[in-house]
Amino acid sequence: MVQQVNQLLNDKAWARWTALVLVASMMFFGYMFVDVMSPIQALMESQKGWGPDTFGTYAASEYIVNVLGFLIIAGVILDKMGVRFTGVLSASMMFIGALIKLIGISDWFAQTAFADWLNSWWVTLPASAKMACFGFMLFGCGCEMAGTTVSKAIAKWFKGKEMALAMGLEMAIARVGVFAIFSISPIIANHFGTVVAPVAFCTVLLLIGLITFIVFTFMDKTLDKQLGTTEEAGDPEEEFKFSDLGKIFSSQVFWIVALLCVLYYSAIFPFQRYGANMLQCNLDGISPEDAANIFRWFPIGAA
């Protein structure tokens, strides 16, 4: 007598790779938005009055709340609430943050009473930059939370299968997002004559990324039904305990790995923000498009 084995959804190659494409799309669009203004820094200065100091403050705003511990909270939320809830939450934060930033740099916002009020305090930054910083800060919280969530989703769907390949492909897709936005952001800005246009374009893409993740949640819920589990129940072996923080922070290996990550990212991300503008400042007569086209090959190496 032959016993029939029920095949899970993630046992089907088309299903798990479709799930990867759906979650990776959200990160692809997210990484595009991260650097949408990097290749048009000079245009931000000429159109919005953002000097290098203002642009640097804006760039740093993406990480400030994460540095103050939000990523730990995001990890707790992910362990407690599961992949679906946390993914939709993070994608929503990314989109809402992007929308706030888009409003902040718009010509309409500059004419509002709220912009005048923002200009009346903390005068080292224009109102557009203050609004953009707040939006980018909210986006950054969502983006970093999304990165953790996507990793856990891939681990769930590719357990016992091509997990390392799937994680590598997801990161490669995200890096290609940086290549894509360095390629098209100056073109869009020049075509429409405003820096608002590429930001608006990427904001729409983030809405699409939210939709793709929502589609993934239906697939993930089907998988949970097949497994006979619920996301709210979670895995008892992965249940969060505050005592785990002590174990992590007392681990010498953890601090070595963390230090390596800090050294790497502290060199890469600031360079990525200023790289295209640096080429413009040091090479006479080079346009924003040409500078971005040179720098865009940098993330392709990572991909």
CATH code where residue 46 lies: 1.20.1250.20
Can you tell me the distance from the alpha carbon of 174 to that of 299, in angstroms, rounded to the nearest whole number?
Answer: 10
Can you tell me the distance from the alpha carbon of 72 to that of 119, in angstroms, rounded to the nearest whole number?
Answer: 34
Domain assignment present for residue 1? The answer is no
Provide the number of structural domains found in the chain.
1
Mind listing the pLDDT tens digit for each residue in 131-176? Answer: 999 999 999 999 999 999 999 999 999 988 889 999 999 999 999 9
Domain assignment present for residue 216? The answer is yes
Mind listing the pLDDT tens digit for each residue in 81-100? Answer: 899 999 999 999 999 999 99
Domain assignment present for residue 2? The answer is no
pTM of the model: 0.87
DSSP helix/strand/coil, 6? coil
pLDDT for the residue 1? 40
Can you tell me the distance from the alpha carbon of 92 to that of 182, in angstroms, rounded to the nearest whole number?
Answer: 24
**Residue 26 is part of which domain span?**
9-302
Q: What percent of the chain has pLDDT over 70?
A: 93
Domain assignment present for residue 3? The answer is no
